[in-house]
Amino acid sequence: MILVTGGTGGLGGAIVETLAAEGARVAFTYVREEARAREIETAIPGARAYALDLRDPRAPGELVGRVEGDLGAIDGLVNNAGLRSDGLLAFTSDEEWERAVDVNLGGVFRCCRAVVPGMVGRRRGAIVNVASLSALLGLAGQTAYAASKAAVLGLTRSLAREVGSRGIRVNAVAPGFVATAMTGELPEDVVRSLRQRECLADGVTAASVAATVAFLLSDGAAGITGQCVVVDAGVSA
C-alpha cells in the first residue's frame, strides 16, 4: 500500500492515478480540497482520501495509524505535498520563510518519521520525495522554495544511508516546469523563460513525473537509493 501526500493537485493526482493503474492500493492526502479528493476517490478504484495538515507535528503519525488500520501496512511513501513560495530574498518575511521550510521540508521529515519505524520492522519499503529543479539550478525569486527543496535532497541522501541496511530505499525526483494549477498563475514570459532550455519539445508532463515516481517505488529500482532523478526535458543537460 502506498501513501501519497498532496494527491489532489495536478502532479499528485497523476501520481495517484499512475500507481492505482499499476494495481497499487493508494491512500492520498488533501488539505482543503475535500470535494476534489472525493472526486478522485470515485474516479480511481483503489484510491482513498485522508485530510492532512503537514504543519501539525502530530498529524502525520496519527494519519499513518489510520491508514494502516484501514488499508494495511504502508510499503511506499511519496512526499509530494508542498507549497510554492515566490519572492525576492530581500522582501521575504520571516513568516513566509518559515512557512515554506515547515511545509516543504518539515512535512517530508514528519511523514518519513511516521512511516520509517514500520518499514524497518518489516524490512522493506520505498520512499520518494518530490523536490524541484530549483533545488539544483536555483531560480531568482524562489529563494525560500529552492532552499527548502534543496534541503529535501540532503534529507533523502542521509535517510537512505540510515535505513538501507533494513531493505528500505529513499530517492527523490526533481521535476522541471510542469503545467499544473500551481504553475498556472505564472505569466507567459516567465513560463517561456523556464522552458527555453528544454531539449524536448513536449516539455515535462505530470504523467512523465508520475511514471518516474512509480518506477522508483517498484522492484525495478531495487538497486537505486539515495539518488535524485531529474525530470526536466533536458534543461540541466
Q: How is the beta sheet containing 125-130 ordered, strand by strand?
A: 47-51, 26-30, 2-4, 76-79, 125-130, 168-175, 228-231
Nearest-CA neighbor of 80 among 183, 177, 172, 208? 172
Q: Which three cell numbers stand for residue 191?
A: 513560463
Q: Please tell me which residue in 30, 50, 145, 177 is annotated as part of the active site.
A: 145
8 Å CB contact between 24 and 72: no
8 Å CB contact between 112 and 10: no
Q: Which three cell numbers stand for residue 211?
A: 511514471
8 Å CB contact between 233 and 204: yes
Known catalytic membership, residue 145 = yes
3-class DSSP state of 188: helix
Count other Cβ atoms within 10 Å, centred on residue 126.
23
Furthest C-alpha separation in the chain? 50
Burial of 226 (0-12, 13-18, 19+ CB in 10 A): middle
8 Å CB contact between 217 and 128: yes
- Compute the CA torsion angle 172, 176, 180, 182 (nearest 10 deg): 80
User: So which residues are the catalytic ones?
Assistant: 145
